Amino acid sequence: MPTSEDFAKQLRRNLTPFEWRFWHAVKNRQLAGAKFCRQVPVGPYVADFLCISARLIVELDGSQHGDAIDADAARTRYLEAQGYRVLRFWNNDVTTNLEGVLRIVELALAEAPLTLPSPPAARVERKE
């Protein structure tokens, strides 16, 4: 049975044109110095784009989401319960107003205090 990580890897290899366009605008800390990852498993879901330090998820929705309002709402509630802020944009917004989308994301990043991930626990070897 495929895991959410397997599914995320598949999604990373097959970005939609809208996801690709957004990714090229935010990768390599191009937007407000924030590090975004694409297609990241979060519990049972895969977030389109995630800035871990700002606890911010960006979802790009196509027309199929017009019929999935309840499912998207449940997904957003789950992600918010995990401590993430979720921004949703229609694919058309990325095509016709990428600068506006990026500005909204940038404002959300400015509102969120950036945190650094906890360092891994130091490995302590015992001498016996």
Distant-in-sequence, close-in-space partners of 109: CB < 8 Å, separation ≥ 6:
31, 32, 34, 51, 54, 56
Angle at 18 between CA 13 and CA 24, to 5 degrees: 70
User: For residues 51 and 104, what is the distance between their CA atoms, to the nearest angstrom?
Assistant: 14
What predicted TM-score, i.e. pTM, was given to this entire model?
A: 0.79
pLDDT recorded at residue 66: 52
**Domain extent listing, the chain:** 4-46+58-109
Q: For 89-119, how does the pLDDT look when each residue is reduced to its tens digit (9 = 90+)?
A: 999 999 999 999 999 999 999 997 655 555 4
For a pLDDT cut of 90, what percent of the chain falls above it?
A: 64
Beta partners for residue 50, in sequence order: 37, 57
Q: 12-39 pLDDT, tens per residue?
A: 777 999 999 999 999 999 999 999 999 9
Task: Give mean pLDDT, residues 79-95.
Answer: 95
pLDDT at 126 over 50: no
